[in-house]
């Protein structure tokens, strides 16, 4: 495991046409945030949407639901370790779980392009069934639309997940505080670099496979081991660990410090990032859980994660500090430090 | 109001390439049914999906939720009477309401194409906010993805609706029985022909406007006036009245008879259909409620619908019969009859 340093620009800087949607608007970075702030919230903003979370907690009868929706537009549709269907099930399940919900139900909306191979569709649908079964959730409603050749890119999938909120477990982006410890459940950057390696035709000694996984078992273990000690949970997907930590630093009004030497970045991921001029801190993960934990519960949380194969490499990567509130700072291996800001636009488009 | 007769083929007959997705797979007709039957249900089929309804009723705590999901791919994005956002809110709300649910919450997932005008996006988002407010539902979670120029068609929207099931009101597609009366709340074919008139550049004395509307007030009126007397509710969107009745005839194992002379088809819709060789019975509506009602409650149901502006033209269009089970038959104005079957493929692609 090695970490690399990134000082160059992101691959797609914001363009100057401010009247049209740009790729950077889908980045999960500053342009995404601006699109939401300027074009969605002024009209649709309410108690739920204004929290800018991965989903919402809403009352229904005398219970509380956790609801999350996500559209998947990954290109290519199939890649080492998974396909668009794996992401569509895991991604939404994980968002529900990170908000403290027990995922129960999923809906799936397909936009298919005329000419899509039915073999590809079959493999994707089979994967979704398998992933849903494995996670113990039910696909309860679906919809299929078809658009003409050239009007979509093979297929897009939207999934919406519904879960029940545990009454005693309330992780949230605004709950981090000084002294908390930042944990990750495993190696960083595998999903994004698996996609990029396919797109760019990169060959390594071993193929980089996506880490796509259902994270609900890890959440259950954490809940059992350190319930109230868990301040925040997040699956750092689009925008990677750096973007997730920036959002939490802002929501909690705290600073964050990352130790470069502690970041679990596999050698192939580091090599691929170096080759393509990318920073692994911004690369999407689809099977990594990040937890911000009260210091007295950090050891118990780590031990709990490590009892599960998906958390075997869990480790501490940093801490919450009172210095530089709202900023994430990386302590580099050579003793320096640099601010890890939100990127303006896209490092990796169409990654999920 | 006049009705026209249609004997020609649908505009897009099934092609012979059976290994790829075809436009007809999105038609809401026989090819759609075959796609679901052959490629989705064998893998994903469970108690909920196998009912092939517009959504699902699922237990949560001690209550029951109604959940429905729908993707919108209409082209053009804006049309007389509405835009893709109007459909995305009303369409999903209406599906929840037709299953007996009180719609409470909506999620929205956007796939935006690079280069989309932000003015168009703003108008669509504003419309969605307005329609949701008017219907008393909250947009609680959203997601935005951007794909490269040429990889989508402006924008696609998925919405998922969540409502609470009324414990005493259970309309369903399998509940129609001999003697029931078939009602519609208003004029047929306006949405589909509004879209087609724009696409084909047709000009009429008056512009055909989409009928897109929130149908929950009509459902509430029906429920109050004829609760247990309501066997089935449906908003006949993609595939029109003909496809909706065929699905119900099959689910209930009954025959259906329609009176051609009674069908409320506006003159401009009939004229546009004639010009384009389309059958108004298969044209999508986005603001029409169809109800199958026990005969003793039909008058009360009609009166209730007519108290609301959206139901002012409500009328009886046919009845449920024991003859020809699973078939819908049209009694023509000149005294003949013809079977109104499901179309194989698409009459009107990209209509919603």
> pLDDT tens-digit profile of A193-248?
999 999 988 877 788 999 999 999 999 999 999 999 999 999 999 999 999 999 99
Residues B186 and B322 in one domain: yes
**Contact state of A142 with B44 under an 8 Å Cβ cutoff:** yes
Report how far residue A64's alpha carbon sits from residue A164's, in angstroms, rounded to the nearest whole number.
Answer: 6
Q: What is the pLDDT of residue B16?
A: 53
Of the candidates B75, B78, B89, the one whose C-alpha atom is nearest the C-alpha of residue B214 is: B89
HSE, side-chain direction, 13 A CA sphere, residue A252: 28
Asked if residue A269 lies in contact with residue A240, where contact means CB atoms within 8 angstroms, the answer is no
- The C-alpha of A93 sits at a distance from chain B's nearest C-alpha, in angstroms, of 14
Q: What is the pLDDT of residue B45?
A: 86
Q: What is the pLDDT of residue B3?
A: 44
Cis peptide before A352 (omega within 30 of 0): no
Distances, alpha carbon B181 to alpha carbons A74, B255, B257, in Å: 48, 12, 10
The backbone torsions φ and ψ at residue B106, rounded to the nearest 5 degrees and listed phi first, read -130, 145
**Contact state of B71 with A114 under an 8 Å Cβ cutoff:** no
Listed in sequence order, the residues at least 6 apart from A20 whose beta carbon sits closer than 8 Å to its beta carbon are: B114, B115, B116, B117, B118
Residues B104 and B220 in one domain: no
Task: Give the tokens for residue B198.
Answer: 């724009």
Cβ–Cβ pairs < 8 A, chains A and B = 270
- The C-alpha of A327 sits at a distance from chain B's nearest C-alpha, in angstroms, of 25
Residue B174 belongs to a domain: no
**Contact state of A162 with B67 under an 8 Å Cβ cutoff:** yes
H or E segment to which residue A222 belongs: helix A216-226
Residue B54 belongs to a domain: yes
pLDDT band, very low/low/confident/very high, at A45 (cuts 50, 70, 90) = confident
HSE, side-chain direction, 13 A CA sphere, residue A259: 12
Asked if residue A211 lies in contact with residue A82, where contact means CB atoms within 8 angstroms, the answer is no
Number of domains within chain A: 2
Residues A161 and A191 in one domain: no
Residues A199 and A331 in one domain: yes
Residues B134 and B224 in one domain: no
Of all residues in chain A, the one with the smallest CA distance to B96 is: A141
Q: What is the pLDDT of residue B289?
A: 98
Q: Judged by CB atoms within 8 Å, which residues 90-129 of B form the interface with A?
A: 104-105, 107-119, 121-122, 125-126, 128-129
- The C-alpha of A301 sits at a distance from chain B's nearest C-alpha, in angstroms, of 29
Final residue of a domain: which of B165, B190, B211?
B165
H or E segment to which residue A154 belongs: none
Of the candidates A81, A336, A100, A57, the one whose C-alpha atom is nearest the C-alpha of residue A193 is: A81
Q: Judged by CB atoms within 8 Å, which residues 260-319 of B form the interface with A?
A: none
- Partnered with residue B181 across adjacent β-strands are B293, B319
Final residue of a domain: which of A110, A135, A165?
A165
Q: Which of B39, B55, B160 sits opposite A122 (nearest CB)?
A: B39
Asked if residue A66 lies in contact with residue A25, where contact means CB atoms within 8 angstroms, the answer is no
Asked if residue A269 lies in contact with residue A280, where contact means CB atoms within 8 angstroms, the answer is yes
Residues B91 and B236 in one domain: no
Q: What is the pLDDT of residue B17?
A: 67
Q: Judged by CB atoms within 8 Å, which residues 53-82 of B form the interface with A?
A: 55-56, 58, 60-63, 65, 67-73, 75
Let me know the angle formed at the C-alpha of A331 by A329 and A333, rounded to the nearest 5 degrees. 150
Residue A351 belongs to a domain: no
Q: Is the dihedral of CA A91, B64, B238, B256 positive or negative?
A: positive
The top-scoring range by mean pLDDT among A10-14, A54-58, B286-290, B332-336 is B286-290
Listed in sequence order, the residues at least 6 apart from A128 whose beta carbon sits closer than 8 Å to its beta carbon are: A85, A86, A88, A89, A108, A139, B43, B44
Residues B106 and B205 in one domain: no
The backbone torsions φ and ψ at residue B159, rounded to the nearest 5 degrees and listed phi first, read -125, 145
Of all residues in chain A, the one with the smallest CA distance to B47 is: A140
**Contact state of B118 with A20 under an 8 Å Cβ cutoff:** yes
Distances, alpha carbon B225 to alpha carbons A128, A343, B167, in Å: 43, 58, 16
pLDDT tens-digit map of A137-156:
999 999 999 999 999 999 99
Asked if residue A57 lies in contact with residue A64, where contact means CB atoms within 8 angstroms, the answer is yes
Of the candidates A125, A296, A226, A146, the one whose C-alpha atom is nearest the C-alpha of residue B39 is: A125
- The C-alpha of B193 sits at a distance from chain A's nearest C-alpha, in angstroms, of 19
Q: What is the separation of C-alpha B168 from the centre of its chain, rounded to a whole number of angstroms?
A: 24
Residues B268 and B298 in one domain: yes
**Contact state of B21 with A153 under an 8 Å Cβ cutoff:** no
Contacts of A132 in chain B (CB under 8 A): 44
Residue B345 belongs to a domain: no
- Partnered with residue A181 across adjacent β-strands are A293, A319
The backbone torsions φ and ψ at residue A7, rounded to the nearest 5 degrees and listed phi first, read -125, -5
Of all residues in chain A, the one with the smallest CA distance to B75 is: A147
Residue A17 belongs to a domain: no
Q: What is the pLDDT of residue B6?
A: 46
Task: Give the tokens for residue A241.
Answer: 């660990």
pLDDT tens-digit map of A264-313:
999 999 999 999 999 999 999 999 999 999 999 999 999 999 999 999 99
Q: Which of A44, A115, A152 sits opposite B128 (nearest CB)?
A: A44
Q: Which of A21, A151, A152 sits opposite B116 (nearest CB)?
A: A21
DSSP type of residue A286:
S
Let me know the angle formed at the C-alpha of A300 by A90 and A180, rounded to the nearest 5 degrees. 80
Report how far residue A76's alpha carbon sits from residue A122's, in angstroms, rounded to the nearest whole number.
Answer: 16
**Contact state of A19 with B350 under an 8 Å Cβ cutoff:** no
**From the DSSP assignment, how many helices (H) and strands (E) are in chain A?**
9, 14
Contacts of B41 in chain A (CB under 8 A): none
Report how far residue B251's alpha carbon sits from residue B256's, in angstroms, rounded to the nearest whole number.
Answer: 12
Report how far residue B281's alpha carbon sits from residue B274's, in angstroms, rounded to the nearest whole number.
Answer: 12
Report how far residue A321's alpha carbon sits from residue A178's, in angstroms, rounded to the nearest whole number.
Answer: 5
**Contact state of A141 with B68 under an 8 Å Cβ cutoff:** yes
pLDDT band, very low/low/confident/very high, at A9 (cuts 50, 70, 90) = very low
Residues A188 and A265 in one domain: yes
Mean pLDDT, all residues of chain A: 92
* Interface membership of A29 toward B (CB under 8 Å): no
Contacts of A67 in chain B (CB under 8 A): 105, 107, 140-141, 162
Residue A27 belongs to a domain: no
**Contact state of A22 with B114 under an 8 Å Cβ cutoff:** yes
**Contact state of A141 with B22 under an 8 Å Cβ cutoff:** no
Of all residues in chain B, the one with the smallest CA distance to A61 is: B63
Question: Residue A336, SS3?
Answer: coil
Which one is predicted more confidently, A53 or A169?
A169
In which domain, by residue range, is B188 found? 181-339
Say yes or no to pLDDT of A28 above 60: yes
Residues B158 and B186 in one domain: no
Contacts of A142 in chain B (CB under 8 A): 40, 44, 49, 69
Distances, alpha carbon A211 to alpha carbons A86, A192, B351, in Å: 10, 9, 38
Contacts of B59 in chain A (CB under 8 A): none
Query: Which three-class secondary structure string do you get for chain B?
Result: CCCCCCCCCCCECCCCCCCECCHHHHCCCHHHHHHHHHHHHHHHCCCCHHHCCCCEEEEECCEEEEEEEEEECCCCCEECCEEHHHHHHHHHHHHHHHCCEEEEEEEEEEEEECCCEHHHHHHHHHHHHHHHHHHCCEEEEEEEEEECCCCCCCEEEEEEEEEEECCCCCCCCCCCCCCCEEEECCCCCHHHHHHHHHHHCCCCCCCCCCCCCCCHHHHHHHHHHHHHHEEEEECCCCCHHHHHHHHHHHHHCCEEEEEHHHCCCCHHHHHHHHHHCCCHHHCCCCCCCEEEECHHHHHHHHHHHHCCHHHCCCEEEEEEECCCCCCEEEECCCCCEEECCCCCCECCCCCC
Residue B329 belongs to a domain: yes
Instruction: Say which CATH number the domain at B288 has.
Output: 3.90.650.10
Residue B325 belongs to a domain: yes
Final residue of a domain: which of A132, A165, A198?
A165
Report how far residue A142's alpha carbon sits from residue A156's, in angstroms, rounded to the nearest whole number.
Answer: 13
- The C-alpha of A230 sits at a distance from chain B's nearest C-alpha, in angstroms, of 24
Contacts of B150 in chain A (CB under 8 A): 150
Per-residue pLDDT in tens (0 to 9) along chain B, 352 residues: 344 444 544 444 444 567 999 999 988 889 999 999 999 999 998 888 887 777 999 998 888 999 999 999 999 999 999 999 999 999 999 999 999 999 999 999 999 999 999 999 999 999 999 999 999 999 999 999 999 999 999 999 999 999 999 888 889 999 999 999 999 999 999 999 999 999 988 877 788 999 999 999 999 999 999 999 999 999 999 999 999 999 999 999 999 999 999 999 999 999 999 999 999 999 999 999 999 999 999 999 999 999 999 999 999 999 999 999 999 999 998 999 999 999 887 778 899 9
**Contact state of B21 with A116 under an 8 Å Cβ cutoff:** yes
Residues B194 and B147 in one domain: no
Q: What is the pLDDT of residue B52?
A: 74
Question: Residue A300, SS3?
Answer: helix
Instruction: Say which CATH number the domain at B114 has.
Output: 3.30.1330.10
Residues B198 and B97 in one domain: no
Task: Give the tokens for residue B126.
Answer: 């504003």
């Amino acid at each position: 495991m090695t970490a690399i340093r990134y000082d160059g620009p992101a691959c797609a800087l914001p363009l100057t046409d401010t009247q049209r949607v740009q790729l950077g608007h889908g980045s999960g970075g500053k342009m995404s945030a601006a699109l939401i702030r300027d074009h969605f919230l002024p009209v649709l903003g309410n108690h739920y949407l204004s929290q800018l979370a991965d989903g919402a907690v809403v009352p229904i009868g005398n219970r509380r639901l956790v609801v999350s929706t996500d559209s998947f537009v990954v290109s290519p549709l199939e890649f080492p370790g998974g396909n668009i269907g794996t992401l569509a099930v895991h991604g939404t399940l994980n968002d529900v779980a990170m908000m403290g919900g027990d995922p129960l139900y999923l809906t799936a909306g397909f936009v298919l392009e005329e000419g899509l191979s039915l073999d590809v569709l079959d493999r994707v649908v089979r994967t979704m069934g398998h992933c849903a079964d494995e996670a113990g959730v039910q696909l309860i409603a679906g919809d299929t639309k078809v658009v003409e050749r050239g009007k979509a890119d093979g297929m897009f999938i939207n999934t919406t997940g519904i879960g029940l909120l545990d009454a005693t477990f309330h992780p949230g982006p605004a709950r981090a505080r000084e002294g908390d410890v930042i944990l990750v459940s495993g190696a960083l950057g595998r999903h994004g670099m698996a996609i990029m390696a396919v797109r760019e035709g990169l060959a390594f000694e071993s193929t980089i496979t996506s880490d796509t996984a259902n994270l609900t078992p890890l959440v259950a273990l954490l809940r059992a081991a350190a319930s109230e000690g868990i301040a925040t949970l997040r699956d750092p997907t689009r925008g990677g660990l750096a973007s997730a930590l920036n959002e939490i630093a802002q929501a909690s009004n705290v600073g964050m410090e990352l130790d470069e030497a502690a970041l679990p970045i596999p050698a192939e991921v580091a090599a691929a990032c170096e080759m393509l001029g990318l920073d692994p801190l911004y690369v999407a993960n689809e099977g990594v859980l990040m937890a911000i934990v009260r210091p007295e519960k950090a050891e118990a949380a780590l031990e709990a994660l490590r009892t599960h194969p998906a958390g075997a490499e869990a480790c501490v990567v940093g801490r919450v500090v009172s210095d530089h509130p709202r900023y994430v700072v990386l302590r580099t291996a050579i003793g320096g430090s640099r601010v890890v800001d939100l990127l303006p636009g896209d490092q990796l488009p169409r990654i999920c």
